[in-house]
Amino acid sequence: MLGSIGIGRWLTHEPAAELLTGLDAVLEEAVRSDDPHLARAAAHLVGSGGKRIRPALLFLAAAFGPGAAGQDLLRVAAAVELLHVASLYHDDVMDRAETRRGAPTVNVLRGDAEAVTAGTFAFARAIRLLAEVDEVVTAWASRSMLALALGQMQEAENTYNLDHRLDSYAQIAARKTAALFELSCRAGAHLAGAPPEGVDALGRYGRALGLAFQAADDTLDVIAPQSALGKRPGTDLREGVYGLPVLIALHQNGPDSDRLRELLRRDDLGAAEQEEACARIAAAGGISGASAIARDYAHQAVTYLAGLPAGDPKDSLARLARYVVMRPY
């Protein structure tokens, strides 16, 4: 499964698309275990597909070098995806999330302990895959894993914080999302033998793209229909996880911001209150402000591609930067 990011809309580089078709088999093999409970829990998110955007970035970045073994690219792409999946398991436990990708989370189905163990198992499998390929990429991945952990902790420390600063939010987004986007781009370029300036440019692109992606995702959490999100819009509000549109709205002065604060101070938001909170966020400029920030990051990402050779890989990366801030879900 290639996920819902609309890969066919922006990915025109056939070698990268071909590699993506082989990713599921590598992922399935990576999460196999003699323990049936662990294998089933670890396969829960892997088997649900997801966007696969990080592996796609890795394969595209590899097109800017002389070449790399397809199996090495697949192993590292699977490792990066497993790092992402592991963070989702841990996020769901910390956020007490009930659904993910339109289905019940592992923590709901089998409890927090099994969900955390599945996340740790995915991390371990990712490390094993990386160790089989390249020491430099493994070192980069270790820094990304540390960034993920710090971002998760920082986000947890700011749950229900109505005074959460925008600079702190940006740091969390850089750690939790942009770090793996940057890793994907740097790893693919490095494995393919791209020149250092190309590796750096692609890494900067990945970081900016990740920030754009997170800002857009936060916006969709407020405005996208439940049928697309797999959960009620504004669900993160109830869990005290305030994304960019919420923080922008809270930092405004006016009746909509004041009413939003009043709603978010309540112990448990009902469906009608969630709907009202989303409306107040939009009225206070949270949606328009976050969308503008997402577009700015996407534009910045494209500028980092300027010195790279023209062709389908570069075109695909540029289209992706535009698509992440325009996608309907």
pLDDT tens digits, one per residue of 282-301: 999 999 999 999 999 999 99
Q: How confident is the model at residue 227 (pLDDT cuts 50, 70, 90)?
A: low
- What is the per-residue pLDDT for 2? 32
Beta-bridge partners for 104? 99
- The answer to whether residues 161 and 36 touch, using CB atoms and an 8 Å cutoff, is no
Between CA 4 and CA 82 the distance in angstroms is 18
- The answer to whether residues 318 and 302 touch, using CB atoms and an 8 Å cutoff, is yes
CB-CB neighbours of 277 under 10 Å:
24
pLDDT tens digits, one per residue of 23-78: 999 999 988 888 888 888 877 777 766 788 999 999 999 999 998 889 999 999 99
Q: How confident is the model at residue 229 (pLDDT cuts 50, 70, 90)?
A: low
Q: How confident is the model at residue 328 (pLDDT cuts 50, 70, 90)?
A: low
- What is the per-residue pLDDT for 3? 37
Mean pLDDT (whole number) for 209-224 = 93
Between CA 226 and CA 223 the distance in angstroms is 9
- Nearest Cα residue to 133 out of 82, 73, 80: 73
Of residues 238 and 182, more confidence is placed in 182
Cα torsion angle, 259, 263, 264, 270, sign: negative
Q: How confident is the model at residue 268 (pLDDT cuts 50, 70, 90)?
A: confident
- What is the per-residue pLDDT for 49? 63
- What is the per-residue pLDDT for 267? 80
Of residues 118 and 303, more confidence is placed in 303
DSSP, residue by residue, 126-195: HHHHHHTT-HHHHHHHHHHHHHHHHHHHHHHHTTT-TT--HHHHHHHHIIIIIHHHHHHHHHHHHHTT--
Tokens of residue 12, six digits:
């025109």
- What is the per-residue pLDDT for 48? 66
Q: H-helix or E-strand containing 100?
A: strand 99-100
